[in-house]
Amino acid sequence: MTMLRWILLLAITGGLLFAPNLLEPMLSPLAPAGGPVLYNRATLSSLTGSHLMLVVMAMVPSTIIGLTLAVLVSRPAGAEFLPLSRTIANIGQTFPPVAVLALSVPLLGFGSLPTILALFLYGLLPIFENTLAGLRGVPGAVALSARAVGMTPGQVLAQVELPIAMPLILEGIRISTVIALSTATIGSTVAARSLGEVIIAGLTSNNLAFIVQGGVLTGCIAVLIYDLFGLLIAFAKHRAGIETGDQL
């Protein structure tokens, strides 16, 4: 069933990106009479590339900062900073992305930067909380055994704690990435190039064919990335089980 879903999603995504003319007969009933069926102000492939770049540029710093804060407060020396770190991670959830865009445009101007900032802030909390939960879930006996064989605190973190916590960490990154991928569409309201450009064009011209192209493509990519992270999580669980057994 999963393989069939992947084949279907890849076929739809590939068709929209590289052979939209093949899908024109199916989309034409959704277009207004005499109006264009396929979005032609830019190629869907170029907009998809820009869309994914927005997500990457937001998720990389979000992952680094969320992971770093979680590691810091999980150490005895940094435990007192947990409330502050949690407040920082919650900033993005306090303000919806639309509000962040509205507040940041006067400072950063129109374009990609306000969107990247909104996605970055919105992605912090899941990564931070999942990393913290993963590190706290490492069995004390495993960490103790690692220290007993002479590992330094840095080695225990890198070779024992992070590998065991990795499935939960990846789950947090997956949640943030899928949210960012969907939310990035609103970046087009502040002139960021994304698939939201197609959706907005459809809304303003009452062209359902445009809306379907942008929405379906965004949804298909989101599901594919979600499933891809699922494979990474399964691999991390398998590897963590082997390494935990080795440490014991």
Residues 36-64: pLDDT tens digits?
999 988 899 999 999 999 999 999 999 99
Q: Helix/strand/coil (H, E, C) string of the chain?
A: CHHHHHHHHHHHHHHHHHCHHHHHHHHHHHCCCCCCCCCCCCCHHHHHHHHHHHHHHHHHHHHHHHHHHHHHHHCHHHHHHHHHHHHHHHHHHHCCHHHHHHHHHHHHCCCHHHHHHHHHHHHHHHHHHHHHHHHHCCCHHHHHHHHHCCCCHHHHHHHHHHHHHHHHHHHHHHHHHHHHHHHHHHHHHHCCCCCHHHHHHHHHHCCHHHHHHHHHHHHHHHHHHHHHHHHHHHHHHHHHHHHHHHHC
Q: For 184-204, what is the mean pLDDT?
A: 91
**pLDDT tens digits along 3-22:** 888 899 999 999 999 998 98
Q: Domain residue spans in the chain?
A: 35-240
pLDDT band at 78 (very low <50, low <70, confident <90, very high): confident
Residue 108 confidence (pLDDT) above 60: yes
Best-predicted range by mean pLDDT (16-30, 54-68, 136-150, 189-203): 54-68
Confidence class of residue 139 from pLDDT cuts 50, 70 and 90?
A: confident
What topology does CATH give the domain 35-240?
A: MetI-like fold (1.10.3720)
